[in-house]
Amino acid sequence: MSKWWSRADYIETCNCAHGCPCNLTMLPTHGGCRGLEAFAIREGECDGVRLDGIGVAFGFSWPGPIHRGHGRALVYIDERASAAQRAALEKIATGEAGPGGPFEIFRGTFDERPAVVVGPLKLSVNGRHASIDIGKHGGVKVDPILSDMDGSEANARLVMPDGFIFKDGAIVNAHDGHVHGGGLDFTYGMSSGFIAEVAYNA
């Protein structure tokens, strides 16, 4: 088990309705939950290896509720990471580094170890706007939810004091979502998204 910690900007998107019932361990909107999430690490460390400024993304798919398992995942590591940073992020992201955040918990819901890819990763967070770009393997764009009544931006948050992924996140809209690779191939949009600041083992 590794000694690690991190603080990051977090982007979560999936095919569920806005607010994603999976966060409440309820049934996914469309039967299964699939999407793309990412962490832009502000600062962090794993077994003495600094992780500042590096990103990692996850494509994921569960055929039913997350807690019932049988999921698949693709771990996508920023190609700017050094060999030591890549090894550390792979351990954390696949759940092999031990407790902290969702990684070890989600590992128990996958039928097999997530596929790991290293490549160009672009992450952007600006208020209620964000994007994830993992090159040929996929991407998603995030922006505010707009009121059907007057077109105004929804200022809404999901607060979960005991949340293990995030505790306070802005509820936003995901669109143009797509993931390809690691046994995953799907698209989604006009669906759930969150933007949050997270800290694990810190």
Q: Letter for the amino acid at 99?
A: P
**pLDDT recorded at residue 1:** 76
The per-residue pLDDT for range 125-179, each reduced to its tens digit, is: 999 999 999 999 999 999 999 999 999 999 999 999 999 999 999 999 999 999 9
> What pLDDT does residue 134 have?
98
Q: How far is 174 from 181, CA to CA, in rounded Å? A: 20
What is the total residue count of the chain?
Answer: 202
What residue ranges of the chain have pLDDT lower than 70?
A: none
pLDDT of residue 121: 98
**In the prediction, which pLDDT does 83 show?**
98
Q: Which pLDDT belongs to residue 196?
A: 98
Q: How far is CA 117 from the centre of its chain?
A: 15
